[in-house]
Structure 1
Amino acid sequence: MKGLIILFYPFEMERYLETLLGERDSLLREMEEIALQETIPVVTPAVGNFLNLMVTINRSQSILEIGTAIGYSTVWLARGAKKCGGHVTTIDMNRDRLSRAEGYFERAGLLQSITPLKGDARKILPSLTPGYDFVFVDAAKGEYLDYLNLIDPLIAPGGILVVDNVLFRGWVVPESNFAPKYERMVGGLRRFLQELSQNPEYVTTVLPFGDGISVSRKVEAAPA
């Protein structure tokens, strides 16, 4: 069914659900601690686990990530991809963080499963070959609409698009109160969700864990 579905639950519920994931290995724990200490934005463990599960269920072969940071979500994606012979291409313009991410990829034994690209995704995306069956976006929130327009030609019919932080602390909900400095970002996310949910080429659901993630599937063309 076409449309946008948004569900809400309290933060305490997510903390509880995180305890059900089981113990994460030392590499992921280390990355989580570094991200916390240095205030590096990474996905929550629940979102990472969800990405891994989605890639595995979809048996994704060609995965694109926009926003590598230190590679936390990339490791989750690549571990899923490795199970089904897939490959992850990840883009980030921060050279220092991408270099650190590559170190984690090596330690995780995932160098053969990941291709990191340094640069502005808005400049790199037009040069990529279409056919990605899984795309994950976790980058500058104010650029999400730009990414959507650039990503659309790259996603194969039936492909999955997952975007992080789309609820942005719940502030995208009408009548929310937040500092004026966030007005542009929140407005951009609202426009992004509106455009994505009304796009007839995608079926979209928004889930409330992490900071909100949208999950979309590109509609496959009907048989002639």
Structure 2
Amino acid sequence: MNIAQYVKSLNVVEEHYPDVYSYAVDNSVPIIDSDALAALKHLIRIKGAKTYMEIGTAIGYSGLHLLSVYDDSHLITMEKDRGAYETAVENFSRYDVASRVDAHLGDAKTMDLNIEEESVDLLFIDASKGNNQLFFDKFSPFVKEDGLIVVDNILLRGLVTEDDIVGRNKRKLKEKVDAFNQHMSQSDYPTSFLPIGDGLLVISKSQV
């Protein structure tokens, strides 16, 4: 067991939604790693965040976990795949949180939301990784001045550190994600790049 595996084992907690998790595994639906999820929920508790915006609903796994931290929390979430969206809506209903969710079917890149700026405590970006910069630029204005922006999969399972990438699409994806990471590291926003899960980027909305 290496250090990363040791720390991951310490972060393992009881799964609240085993059926949703099993569905994701059985159907190869990408979901947030358990240790990254634990860190995300811890950040929510520390911040006292109760209003969330999520880019990339998938089947609702991360959304359910976000809503599990506080009983009076609320989630705005977007998903462009109809099948995943419909499964997520079913999951939200089955776990009796549908009244706390505004689920939108459509492409977040072109979606216009009728909500006020600086109205959410947390923005969670977990959609097409090559569009991280676009999602950040478009949706960060909706985050409160003292809120958080969290981006998942910033390491691309190690792809961001590889130099000899044969596939053109993989190479372009690596370049886009790395460019976003580098941009945020040099920005005026306080940032933390956490090597847990597939990498979490935590950004404080307040500029230094």
TM-score norm. by structure 1 comes to: 0.83
Misfit runs of 4+, over 6 Å: none
1:101 paired to 2:88: yes
Structure 1 residues 39-94: Cα deviation after superposition (integer angstroms, max 9, x where no partner): 11111122222222222221113210000100111111111242xx2211111011
Q: Does the aligned pair in 2 maintain the 1:171–1:177 contact within 8 Å? A: no
What secondary structure, in the 3-state scheme, does the structure 1 residue paired with 2:68 have? helix
Shift of 1:152: 2.4
Aligned to 1:124: 111
Report % sequence identity: 27
Shift of 1:117: 0.9
State the one-letter code of the partner of 2:57: T
State the one-letter code of the partner of 1:23: E
Q: Does the aligned pair in 2 maintain the 1:162–1:214 contact within 8 Å? A: yes
Which of the numbers 168, 172, 186 marks the counterpart of 1:198?
186
Structure 2 distance, partners of 1:110, 1:152, is: 25
Aligned to 1:57: 46
1:23 paired to 2:14: yes
Structure 2 distance, partners of 1:216, 1:205, is: 7
Which structure 2 residues correspond to residues 40-55 of structure 1 after superposition, within 5 A? 40-55=29-44
Which of the numbers 144, 152, 157 marks the counterpart of 2:140?
152
TM-score norm. by structure 2 comes to: 0.89
Q: Does the aligned pair in 2 maintain the 1:132–1:156 contact within 8 Å? A: yes
What secondary structure, in the 3-state scheme, does the structure 2 residue paired with 1:195 have? helix
Which structure 2 residues correspond to residues 1-224 of structure 1 after superposition, within 5 A? 13-20=3-10, 21-25=12-16, 28-82=17-71, 85-125=72-112, 127-130=114-117, 131-173=119-161, 176-181=163-168, 182-200=170-188, 202-219=189-206
The gaps in structure 2 that reach 5 residues or longer are none
Structure 1 residues 85-128: Cα deviation after superposition (integer angstroms, max 9, x where no partner): 22111110111111111111122221122211111112225644
Q: Does the aligned pair in 1 maintain the 2:56–2:127 contact within 8 Å? A: yes
Structure 1 residues 152-208: Cα deviation after superposition (integer angstroms, max 9, x where no partner): 2222111100000001122223x54433231100000011111212221x1001111
The gaps in structure 1 that reach 5 residues or longer are 1-9
CA RMSD, 1 decimal? 2.0
Change (3 A) 1:203 1:118: same
What secondary structure, in the 3-state scheme, does the structure 1 residue paired with 2:52 have? strand
